[in-house]
Amino acid sequence: MKKLTALLVLAFVLTGCGGGGSSSAEESFVSGDGSTTYIKVSDRKIAPAITGMTLSGSNYTYQKDRVAVVNVWASWCSPCRAEAPTLVALANKYTDVAFIGILTRDNPANAEAFERRFKIPYPTVIDDSILIGFKGSLPANAIPTTVILDKTGRVAARISGVVTVASLSKLIEKVSAE
């Protein structure tokens, strides 16, 4: 009986721990587990056009002539902050690969501060609607999500959650060698 009472008290206390003051974006945030998915060349679908205004205020269009790493992120996302140094290091290592950010559910001013803090060397497009185009292949099912496109602009792989040097390097090298 004491255990039941303790459980009821604990349940009551925890239900009072609501997310008062948090944004709706953070409330609907889903974190990935770092799992990777690779698609055979014969089963790949064309990625949506990745084009639009960047955080720096310029227009950007991905040219489908090289492998691309597309990272979906937000400045309020702690896993995004955790993976930022890895993405920067790999963008500097794999200079023949296009690295592109897609900002989702975020304030551009906060995102600009994030880019300055982590010295992000690649463009970030401010257009959530791009993500809808991945629905038929490997959608961005978590924040962060990183999608790798092959040299013809088809979706080749996805990491759902935080990238690691090993996981992303392996996919970049595999897709680049095709």
The 10s digit of each residue's pLDDT in 109-130 is 999 999 999 999 999 999 888 8
Residue pair 105/26 in contact (Cβ under 8 Å)? The answer is no
Question: 103 forms bridges with which residues in the sheet?
Answer: 73
Q: Which two tokens stand for residue 51?
A: 């084009």
- Tell if the pTM clears 0.85, that is, is over it: no
Nearest CA to 152 among 10, 47, 23?
Answer: 47
Query: How far is residue 118 from each of residues 75, 92, 127, 168, 175, measured CA to CA in Å?
Result: 11, 13, 21, 18, 26
Q: What is the pLDDT of residue 23?
A: 34
pLDDT: which is higher, 103 or 12: 103
pLDDT: which is higher, 139 or 172: 172
Q: Average per-residue pLDDT in the chain? A: 82
Domain borders along the chain are 22-176
- Rounded Cα distance between 11 and 29, Å, is 23
Positions of E strands within 1-144: 35-38, 51-53, 59-61, 68-73, 98-103, 124-125
Q: What is the pLDDT of residue 86?
A: 97
Mean pLDDT of 149-167: 92
pLDDT at 139 exceeding the cut of 60? yes
Mean pLDDT of 10-31: 36
pLDDT at 138 exceeding the cut of 50? yes
Residue pair 79/162 in contact (Cβ under 8 Å)? The answer is yes
Tokens 């008290």 correspond to what residue? 9
Annotate 73-89 with three-state secondary structure.
ECCCCHHHHHHHHHHHH
Q: Tell me the fold of 22-176.
A: Glutaredoxin (3.40.30)
- Rounded Cα distance between 94 and 114, Å, is 22
